[in-house]
Amino acid sequence: MTNSDGRKGTFEVTVINRSYTSKHKSAESEEGWLNDVSVDAIDGLKTTSDFVNGMDISSSAYLYEKGAKFYNAEGYEESLFYLLKDNGVNYVRLRLWNDPKDGDYLYGGGNCDLTRAKWMAKEATSAGLKYLLDFHYSDYWADPSDQIVPKAWESYTTVDQFSTAIYDYTKETLMELKSLDALPAMVQIGNETRDGMLLSLPGEGSGYAEDKRALSSSFSGSLKTNFKTYLKSGIKAVNDVDSNIKTMVHYVKNFADPSTIVSFYQNLSDVNYDIIGLSAYSYWHFSTIDVLTSGLQAISAAFPDKKIVLAETSYGFTYELDSNANNSFTSTNETIKPVTGYPCSIQGQAKMYRDTLNAIHSISNGYGAFYWEGAWLPLAGCGWGDSTTLSSWSNQAFFSYNGKALGSLAVFNKVYSANHN
């Protein structure tokens, strides 16, 4: 069959409950969650551009397993992937953990293993979305606080062993995706590698991420030792599968101190990557859009031959609570709270994303942004950690707590110049 926008395919679908029923009627109505938002288009941004206007949806596979449904603005159930495509999103970002479980015990946070990544990759590709595959090289969250070696690698004691493991795992993963005709357009080698990667051994007894143990500096991936060697192994694997895939190195630091960001990437001058990836949350990394823009200008001037992407950003739309949520973005949190000029509302959320995207678009080598976990619904068992934890991010998503597109989701279309070509 061919539908009205030219998509072709033969498929069978069973829809049990197509119409949306609100879970939070009072807040939805009083706060206007479904209302239209007003944002200015970004001058010169065209839909035909390959500029990233993206969303991280890494938890979506597990959400679907737990019964999640997503609804368009008219209140009808729709595939999340097609819904995002229809609303202007052109890229999604998918994180990958090596083995996020111990036996039958799942670590949580979307349980982002290869099986789920392959499903999301196929769904994204079918919907006409490009995607970034984010290798954490860990069994769980890799970030400035934790860069824990996968369990399968914890017996390794040489740089060669780790380098080979990174190369083999990266290449084998991509070859599996290639066999599905679902290769990523972009690959991230490590996640928020502020201090390096593969820095600790898994904990013993109390859990993988608890009581983590020191990894010998002689073969850890610290910035001062083997970080570049490990980056090069991952990048080589990507290029050996398909040299057209763009590679990203991801860093995190406040944009008020761009010299530290510049110094980090200057130390990678002999690493052949394509994209500088930076986390950009207003409540952690920039106090105003001017600070973000100024920082990006300094980084752009230092690396005119590298593309720059804001790999993560987000903002809250409500303080409403849910029985399955423990919101991190609140009015009382000392850090994760609104900034001046951007209220906690769908309008504030849309404006923050638009202005953040405009900041990266304003520099000559700006290549776009990904909104982080914009579809993380508060379902039972779908928290930040294991099945006993609650969702901490749902009030920063672009969907109501039971899956209807907020009015702010339209920002992904509204940012394009008026003629949309």
Q: Which two tokens stand for residue 250?
A: 């991801």
Helices and strands per DSSP (H, E), number in the chain: 11, 14
d(C-alpha 120, C-alpha 110), whole Å: 12
d(C-alpha 337, C-alpha 180), whole Å: 42
Cβ neighbours of 212 (radius 10 Å) = 19
CA nearest 44: which of 358, 366, 417? 417
Question: Catalytic: 65?
Answer: no
CA nearest 337: which of 319, 320, 358, 350? 319
Instruction: Collect all residues with Cβ–Cβ distance below 8 Å to 210 and sequence separation of at least 6.
Output: 203
Q: Which of 77, 78, 192, 373 is catalytic?
A: 192
d(C-alpha 196, C-alpha 340), whole Å: 33
d(C-alpha 11, C-alpha 218), whole Å: 54
Q: Which of 123, 312, 320, 373 is catalytic?
A: 312
Question: Catalytic: 312?
Answer: yes
The residues that are catalytic are 192, 312
